[in-house]
Amino acid sequence: MNGKNKETTVLDYGMALFLVVISIFAPSALGAMRPWSGALLRMMGAVLAVIFGISVFGKNKFFLNRLDLIAIISLSYCLVRVFFSPVKYYAAGEFLNILNYFFLFFVSSRVFAGKKSVNIYIAGLLLSVLFVASYGLIDYFKGANSVFGILRPVQYHGRLGGTYICPNHCSGFFEITFFVLLACLFVRKINSGYKIIIGYILALVILSVLLSKSRSGIACMLVGLTVFAILASREKKRYFLIGLSIVLAAVIISGTLFLPEIAERFSRFSSDTSINTRITIWKDTLALVKQKPLLGFGLGSYKWVYHSVRSAGMSREIDFAHNDYLHAWVETGILGLALVLWFVFSYFKLGIRAIGLMRSSTKRFILYGIFSGIAAIMAHSLTDFNMHILANASVLIILAGMGSGIMFSSVDLEKTLTVSVKPVFAGTVFSLLGMLVCVFSFLDFRTALIELKAAEFLKEGAFDSAAACYEKSLLNYRINPDIYKSAGRVYKTLYKFRQNSEFREKAIEMFEKGKKANHLEGDFNIELGLICQSGKNFKEAESEFLQALEKDPNNAYYNNVIGTYYYIINDNDKAEKYFKNASEMNFRNDYAKHYLKLIRKRVEK
């Protein structure tokens, strides 16, 4: 199927349009990082896999090339790491995302072997980029600090974020897509009118990246431009110089208009707290790497194992390492990281070889664009976690698949390494896997909608209705720690207001089940300890608090809680110790400072 006699079928066009829908939906839905949008994105990928599986049944041959085989080996390794992960629920969710990327790569590498399907996708991608850039620019000049009504964190105010919460991730989306669209300026068959439109959109993108004030984003756009210039330098100089002049003119004009704001952002580099925070996270992450360098801790485990090495002063929750390579190393070990780098190296090696053999300058320029986008986002991954933003990862994988399809359909690379598979077998595997992911993703989507409804009830103070929603969610997933935590807190609130022991017992049940589902999270111990403390069961409360502190020793909130416990039982020395710890971990900790004053007054008396 990945060979020379590739014919574009109606199903191929349908799948190309489906990939366009994914590429428009994912970045537009807050980067697909909300539970409902992430589940919907996986569902789309799963449906696509089923359609692809059905299309394979009608083929005479189905080949797996070298890139396919590396992808299959990597997927298999990730599946094994799910079973060894200490947090099975989060590991399974991470694996479903990886499986979805696998679907997108396989489908796009086959569908985009045809010229017309490539044209369809690039037209759709152009619309997606235009929407994200236009939305971001309109909001920026209006002075809005929200996206679709959701307020951005204070540190992102005054920066362009498009349809993303974080401006850095919006910049990452543009890094991935910009260069493929730039390549279209060099395609002879595209008329001048369309090129003017594309050039206008590219200018908007450059302006958007500059106004995002993402230092890594701006630097990595320059990395991508450098790679594109090096690759394109083998072509006719006239086309290369015209295109490069347009890009440089747009950069100079945009940079001149907003230079003071951008210069001010770069001037704070050494003193910026976000830089210092990243450096601290990287140091902590390296401590985790040293613990399990070969195999890692397992998929989905980073957020939870990070607690054990969290530096004092890191008061906020850290979900990602802000370095995709270190993150992969912690979760999958050096073997997992090596598989990723093996795939990237093989991809570029085969791509450079294919470019040297290609007669079509159009295809060469498309590959230049794809390679430049990959290089830019790989550079950005050294300081951020764009590969954990579902929208960015999905679009990158689709473009990488397109590059693979162009490579293997244009020149004879199949002698490198190919394996023939029976179409019936391949089609059955894709269809079954797609249906399986579709079922799980539907349950995730349904659960996300129920939780949104529960959140609305909580805003209205309808705690009974919220509790009923969470109970309904647990019918879908009985191993979801997040639902157990939310349900437990609702029942605890109901007990506080109504003093009904049934609510207390229900809260304890939820927290106990949550603790079993995720034994690395200390919040369950804290909640159970607080319930015991309110019931004057001080020994059990102390045991739960100390267990939580063992899991996350530098958590300022945990130290505040256990300090309060010792204050209640009149152990002033221990209370002072933990409040001092909490104050050192977070110098803005007014709660700890208040209790330290109370302890001093008590001691003086």
pLDDT of 156 reads 92
Angle at 386 between CA 384 and CA 387, to 5 degrees: 120
pTM: 0.93
Query: 210 is written with which tokens?
Result: 């500059």
Virtual torsion, Cα 436, 439, 444, 449, nearest 10 deg: 160
pLDDT of 4 reads 41
Between 98 and 149, the higher pLDDT residue: 98
Neighbours of 332 (CB within 10 A): 24
Between 316 and 214, the higher pLDDT residue: 214
Query: 188 is written with which tokens?
Result: 């002879």
- Domain edges within the chain: 10-433, 445-604
Query: 94 is written with which tokens?
Result: 């991470």
Nearest to 369 by CA among 161, 30, 129, 24: 129
SS3 507: helix
Across 102-122, average pLDDT: 90
pLDDT for 5 beyond 60: no
Q: How confident is the model at residue 238 (pLDDT cuts 50, 70, 90)?
A: low
pLDDT of 240 reads 60
Residue 146 φ/ψ, nearest 5 degrees: -140, 165
Distance CA 262, CA 123 (A): 31
Strand partners, 146: 151
219-223: long-range contacts, CB 8 A cutoff, minimum separation 24 = 219/379, 220/175, 220/376, 220/377, 220/379, 220/380, 221/171, 221/174, 221/175, 221/178, 221/376, 223/375, 223/376, 223/379
The answer to whether the beta carbons of residues 32 and 137 sit under 8 Å apart is no
Rg of the chain over Cα atoms, rounded to whole angstroms, equals 26
Between 4 and 476, the higher pLDDT residue: 476
The answer to whether the beta carbons of residues 170 and 208 sit under 8 Å apart is yes
Name the fold adopted by 445-604.
1.25.40
pLDDT of 249 reads 58
Percent of the chain scoring above 90 in pLDDT = 66
Residue 92 burial (C-beta neighbours within 10 Å; 0-12, 13-18, 19+): middle
Residue 301 φ/ψ, nearest 5 degrees: -95, -15
pLDDT for 591 beyond 70: yes
The answer to whether the beta carbons of residues 541 and 565 sit under 8 Å apart is yes
Q: Which residue has the tokens 């780098």?
A: 341
Across 179-184, average pLDDT: 93
pLDDT of 34 reads 87
Q: Which residue has the tokens 């909001």?
A: 139
The H or E element that residue 214 is part of is none
Nearest to 2 by CA among 111, 117, 75: 111
The answer to whether the beta carbons of residues 397 and 405 sit under 8 Å apart is no
Residue 269 burial (C-beta neighbours within 10 Å; 0-12, 13-18, 19+): exposed
Distance CA 463, CA 493 (A): 8
Across 575-589, average pLDDT: 86
Across 380-396, average pLDDT: 96
Residue 7 φ/ψ, nearest 5 degrees: -115, 135
Residue 571 burial (C-beta neighbours within 10 Å; 0-12, 13-18, 19+): middle
**Count of residues making up the chain:** 605
What mean pLDDT is reported for the chain? 89
The answer to whether the beta carbons of residues 215 and 265 sit under 8 Å apart is yes
pLDDT of 477 reads 65
- Residues sharing a CB contact under 8 Å with residue 256, sequence separation 6 or more, in sequence order: none
Distance CA 236, CA 242 (A): 11
pLDDT for 163 beyond 90: yes
497-527 residue pLDDT tens? 888 889 999 999 999 999 999 999 999 999 9
Q: Which residue has the tokens 């005054």?
A: 158
The answer to whether the beta carbons of residues 346 and 405 sit under 8 Å apart is no
Residue 420 φ/ψ, nearest 5 degrees: -90, 130
pLDDT of 252 reads 60
pLDDT of 250 reads 61
On the CB side of 25, how many CA atoms lie within 13 Å of its CA?
18
pLDDT of 188 reads 80
Strand partners, 62: 421
pLDDT for 74 beyond 70: yes
Strand partners, 150: 147
pLDDT for 372 beyond 90: yes
Q: How confident is the model at residue 414 (pLDDT cuts 50, 70, 90)?
A: low
pLDDT of 2 reads 45
Nearest to 32 by CA among 124, 109, 97, 125: 97
The answer to whether the beta carbons of residues 58 and 7 sit under 8 Å apart is no
Distance CA 449, CA 439 (A): 16
